[in-house]
Amino acid sequence: MYRKVICLSTILLILLVMFLILLIFFNFPFSFCNPVESKCDWFNLGNKFNLIESFNTIGTIISAIGLVWFSYLTFKNQKSTEFENLFQILLNEHNKLMENESFKKGVEKLNEEIVNIIRKYNFKYPDDILIYQELLCKLHTTKRKNNIEEVIKLRNSLKSIYNEENKINTKHELYNPTYQIFCKESDQDYKTQRDIVIKYSDEVINIIERYFKEDHIDKNLSAIKTELEQLINGNKIVKPYLIILFRILKYIKNTEKIEDDDKNEYFGLVRGLIPSNVLFLILFNSYGWSKSNERNSIAYDELLVRAKLFEHLDFNQDWIENIYQNEHIPRIDMISLVEKTAIEMMDKKAFGENVYLSKKI
């Protein structure tokens, strides 16, 4: 609507100027051409030239132009004010939600769970990651025990995990060494049982640790998306914030009340208000909204790209790296793993000139 009004005003102004020019050119009192003789008298204007009335005509033209221009500026300012008023209402609601203590705690918890999901699907057997972590911890502990009874107690615990959970597939490489530790000849004397644990522990530990260090993210992106949707969409604490953010970005992008350069300024304002831990949540929430649907005329990720919302996202924060503190779980470069997942999920343009990812994208 805004552009149509501007276009119509321009057309009317052009028509008015053309009309006044024709009026001057062909009619008294200011005329270069004799309408009776139908020829131009360029050097002998005589009584045709009336200075006062000519200035009146020119003044009329200038006044008309000024009136149209003033009307245009008034209209533009009115529309800009209308945009600013609604934008301020949305922004205040956005800031209020972000300052809520429940929201802050909810973001912290969700971010840890997001990193857990990424780590899980980087593991060779995602559904079994928890039992492998438990096995690894118990095996390390068993190797350090000198008390035979403690060794047997731990061995029985491992056997219980192996039998009840039945997580270890008989076809893969862990079956033989784990079978030896957990199940074979459990009624032997303590020393024999301890020797069995010591003999096969290193092999099992090496295999499991290799599983943790391998990279399986690429083939599990679809599963990651599904878990992220279930995790975030069902969270009543952060969902209102994500909805209001979507409305703000959509409002800025779709409005015709401000120019594109002004839109960039407003996108930058929103971008600068959101801390990295919230940007992290927004990034992985957006993976479940990668396509527009009947309710949304524009996809969520399109708005994030237009706003370059992740330009200030800091991937080097300690909390990403320090979620896993267990001394028995192999440390992997979680920051690089999260970066890789993010780049796989989101259009690179959404990161703008992010200095933390500049070498990777």
| Lowest mean pLDDT segment, chosen from 77-86, 206-215, 299-308, 316-325 | 316-325
Q: How is the chain split into domains, by residue range?
A: 2-86, 102-119+218-351, 124-213
Average pLDDT over residues 159-171: 54
Assign residue 166 a region: left if phi > 0, alpha if psi is -120 to 50, beta otherwise? left
Q: What is the mean pLDDT of residues 260-270?
A: 92
The whole-number pLDDT of residue 233 equals 80
Element (H, E) at 286: helix 276-286
Q: Is a pLDDT exceeding 90 seen at residue 253? A: yes
Condensed to tens digits (0 to 9), the pLDDT of residues 197-237 reads: 777 778 778 888 888 888 888 888 888 888 888 888 878 88
211 with 132: CB under 8 angstroms?
yes
Q: What is the mean pLDDT of residues 113-122?
A: 87
Q: For the segment 52-67, what is each residue's pLDDT rounded down to a tens digit?
A: 565 566 667 777 777 7
- pLDDT recorded at residue 89: 93
Backbone phi, psi, residue 354, to 5°: -55, 120
- 318-352 pLDDT, tens digit per residue, is 767 666 656 666 666 777 778 888 887 788 888 88
Mean predicted confidence (pLDDT) in 183-201: 68
- Across the chain, what does the average pLDDT equal? 74
pTM value?
0.67
**Token pair 């295999």: residue:** 207
What is the per-residue pLDDT across 123-157, written as a single tens digit (0 to 9) for each?
887 877 877 787 777 777 766 665 566 666 666 66
Q: Residue 253: is it exposed, middle or buried by C-beta count within 10 angstroms (0-12/13-18/19+)?
A: middle
Between residues 248 and 10, which one has the greater pLDDT? Answer: 248
User: Which residues lie closer than 8 Å to 71 by C-beta, 6 or more apart?
Assistant: 9
Give dist(CA 48, CA 32) in Å, integer. 8
Q: Name the nearest CA neighbour of 239 among 189, 178, 247.
A: 247
Distances (CA, A) of 73 to 2, 9, 68, 69, 167: 12, 11, 9, 6, 71
Locate 333 and state its tokens: 């470069």
